Amino acid sequence: MTLEKAEIKRLTAQEIGLKIEKKKQAAEKDIFRLEGAITTLVIATKNLDSIIYHWKRLLETDPPECSMEEAQAAIKAVDQCKMSLASLQEKQKATKIAKHGEISGIDSSLDVAEKLFEDEGRKFAAVVEAANPSLRPELPKGGKARRQFRPTRVRPNQ
């Protein structure tokens, strides 16, 4: 293997890792967005409960401030909105669970990419050493070679 080919393979593995990390960040961002949507839907549902309570209270006044038909129609419409919000909330929760699964898969892919990067880094170091024996690491008194090349996990935005 040539030095250039080894370097290209190492850089390709690094690029793959960076792209996977970007996908993970996007998925985490989606989870935060979904959590916000769920919270908003819960608040909206509670607000609709207070509107239903208001219409029921209007019927209980003496004399009633609105007709029974008006109040029942309003309560029915608000109740339908409340059910729609509950349905949206369940869909958001399911999507959030799916995003957590997606992040687990991305983490597995990231582990594979990191291992590939480290393997290609070791191969690159071996090619460099074979091409230029003067770069061979010196053995310390203990008899073990020090590692000259240490693949690091490069994170974007740092």
Q: What is the pLDDT of residues 75-124, one digit of tens each?
A: 899 999 999 999 999 999 999 999 999 999 999 998 888 888 888 888 88
Q: What is the pTM of this model?
A: 0.65
Q: Would you call 65 helix, strand, or coil by DSSP? A: coil
Give the CA dihedral 125, 127, 133, 136, nearest 10 degrees.
20
* Residue 138, number of CB atoms within 10 A of its CB: 7
How do residues 22-67 score in pLDDT, each as one tens digit? Answer: 999 999 999 999 999 999 999 999 999 999 898 888 888 777 777 8
Of 38, 25, 36, 34, the closest CA to residue 103 belongs to 25
Which range has the worst mean pLDDT, 9-18, 81-90, 110-119, 136-145? Answer: 136-145
